[in-house]
Amino acid sequence: SAVISQKPSRDICQRGTSLTIQCQVDSQVTMMFWYRQQPGQSLTLIATANQGSEATYESGFVIDKFPISRPNLTFSTLTVSNMSPEDSSIYLCSVPGTGLSYEQYFGPGTRLTVT
């Protein structure tokens, strides 16, 4: 399985500011996913990021709030813009497995607290 790292591991930010989260994979992958895990909740898909094309956002998530970059096959960033306390969550990136069983492998997550 792929080894995935995220930076930062955690941060405390003031409302109105923006934070960019980095996700690095040790192998080339076409597709990367960004999820949000709000306190005490499950994971919700924010967007799917394919290299060379615009990210595809899920209902309820917009590019202006969560811009995503995918400059190459091993790296992606998610920015949380104009933050409010409601954005306090764990943000995780994931990549698909190499087989046809559709499993995903997750990074360790970025724990964001907005004050």
CA max distance for the chain: 42
Binding to another protein (CB under 8 A): which residues in 55-94? 58, 92, 94
Q: Centre a 10 Å sphere on the Cβ of residue 15 and count the other Cβ atoms it contains.
A: 12
CB of 82 to another protein, least distance (A): 25
The residue within the footprint of another protein, chosen from 13, 31, 75, 113 (CB under 8 A), is 31
CA distances (Å), origin 29, targets 21, 26, 50, 100, 114: 18, 9, 9, 14, 31
Does 53 sit near another protein (CB under 8 A)? Answer: no
Q: Is 76 exposed, middle or buried (0-12, 13-18, 19+ CB in 10 A)?
A: buried
Does 100 sit near another protein (CB under 8 A)? Answer: yes
CB of 10 to another protein, least distance (A): 9
Which residues of the shown chain bind another protein in the complex (CB under 8 A)?
1, 4, 31, 33, 41-45, 48, 58, 92, 94, 96, 100-109, 111
